[in-house]
Amino acid sequence: MSRVIIIGAGGVGNVVAKKCAQNDRVFSEVLIATRTVSKADKIVAEIKEHLPQSQTKFSTASVDADNVPALVELFNRFKPELVINVALPYQDLTIMDACLETGVHYLDTANYEPLDVAKFEYSWQWAYRERFEKAGLMALLGCGFDPGATNVFTAHHAKHHFKEIHYLDIVDCNNGNHGKAFATNFNPEINIREITANGRYYENGEWVETAPLEISQDIYYPKVQTRKSFVLYHEELESLVLNFPTIKRARFWMTFGESYIKHLSVLEGIGMTSIVPIDFRGQKIAPIEFLKAVLPAPESLAENYTGQTCIGVQAKGIGHDGQEKVHFVYNVCDHAATYREVQAQGVSYTTGVPAMIGAALMLQGVWNKVGVHNVEEFDPDPFIAEMNKWGLPVDELAGIELVRD
């Protein structure tokens, strides 16, 4: 039985909290902390309504996650064993600093990126390795779905199917419909920064940069549909090519519909996706922050969302029998089903469930190693077993190449 703080009360925070409530044998007390405490209060009220049998005790608090002293005061008052960070990526380092100061383990779902630069990489957080080791603490980075479950799938490939992985393709399809003209499935500011940035993939020891959405192909997503998919840069590639050095090429693909791309192109063309602050009526504001304020909140999309997501990892290389092979590990998640269960859409669900699983494995000592670590560094088997248990069933497809060279 463990005490945990969840920082963040958006769509993902909602899922993490409700899955902790379902897993009450591990999570005895949970504090949901966020800048706007009414959002956390709403989650707790829904838990009482929809999960009345849960023995997990919930409370809420207001906190500024940019403020290390405020975080330290909160951590010292509640005394958690672990902090689950599902706030903004800009706040990763302040939360890690507070964990070090108070002796608390740490988990997040997305790597750090500066507020004023559209750049995300693990170097800033990997720089904390020695400090966490000396403190006897563990920090688990990127424990959502992608990154997170995709790293686990890669480790599963390496453990059970491949002597050497040569080609790795991570694919992410949202084949859902929320009924809005334009909306993002997670934080609009982070989502749009990611998509409008240059693409990047790894090949033969080097990073190859592309224009945004320059490379595409039609990919079949099992049990869902064939969808046009685009190469983006995604953070798990950075750690995977280091931890699996036989990889010759690693790419990340994501689906976007024509309407989404047209809306985004117009917004970009008129400067609304810029992160550079402008003067507006005597105040400094980045256009993308204003755009975020007028777009639908991702959690508001959940009630009428239909369709499925399909996220998986295709590996090609040399199998344990010495023969060339291709193998695909994936999950399909239904938006309507996740709303019925936890009042969330599938994109939030696929991120929040792995965060709860990673936290539970840490608290139970199944994944236990001091320092700063990425998910693929641990045994994938218990994580996949928990995915099957907690609503994200894992499927495999052998011998069929879904992503072409």
Tell me the pLDDT tens digit for each residue of 119-136: 678 999 999 999 999 999
Q: Which residue has the higher pLDDT, 124 or 266?
A: 124
Structure tokens at 72: 């330290």
Instruction: State the pLDDT confidence band at 35, using cuts at 50, 70 and 90.
Output: very high
Long-range contacts of range 222-227, CB-CB < 8 Å, 24 or more positions apart?
A: 222/310, 222/312, 222/328, 222/330, 222/332, 222/395, 222/397, 222/402, 223/308, 223/310, 223/332, 223/395, 224/173, 224/175, 224/308, 224/309, 224/310, 224/332, 225/173, 225/175, 227/173, 227/175, 227/255
Residue 84 · residue 16 · CB < 8 Å:
yes
**Of all residues in the chain, what percent carry a pLDDT higher than 70?**
98
What proportion of the chain, given as a percentage, has pLDDT over 90? 79
- The pLDDT mean for the chain works out to 94
- What fold, for 2-141? Rossmann fold (3.40.50)
pLDDT at 292: 81
Q: Quick one: which of 404, 58, 388, 52 has its CA closest to 396?
A: 388
* The pLDDT value given to residue 290: 81
- Measured CA to CA, the distance from residue 359 to residue 368 in angstroms comes to 11
Strands (E) across 24-180 are located at 27-34, 57-62, 82-85, 105-108, 138-141, 162-177
CB of 100 within 8 A of CB of 60? no
**pLDDT value, residue 317:** 98
The 10s digit of each residue's pLDDT in 47-73 is 999 999 999 999 999 999 999 999 999
Q: What is the mean pLDDT of residues 243-256?
A: 97
Res. 138: pLDDT tops 90: yes
Structural domain boundaries in the chain: 2-141, 149-343
Architecture of the 149-343 domain: 2-Layer Sandwich (3.30)
Distance between CA atoms of 71 and 296, rounded to whole angstroms? 29
| pLDDT of res. 383 | 98
Could you read off the pLDDT of 21-32 as tens digits, one per residue? 999 999 999 999
CA–CA dist 350, 345 (Å, integer): 9
- How much is the pLDDT for 117? 66
Name which of 146-155, 292-301, 348-357 the model is least confident about.
292-301
pLDDT given for residue 118 in this prediction? 63
pTM for the full model?
A: 0.94
- What is the per-residue pLDDT for 187? 72
pLDDT score for 296: 83
Q: What SS3 state is found at 326?
A: strand
Looking at residue 186, what is its pLDDT? 66
pLDDT in tens, 173-224: 999 888 887 777 767 777 777 788 889 999 999 999 999 999 999 999 999 9
Return d(Cα 269, Cα 371) in angstroms, integer: 43
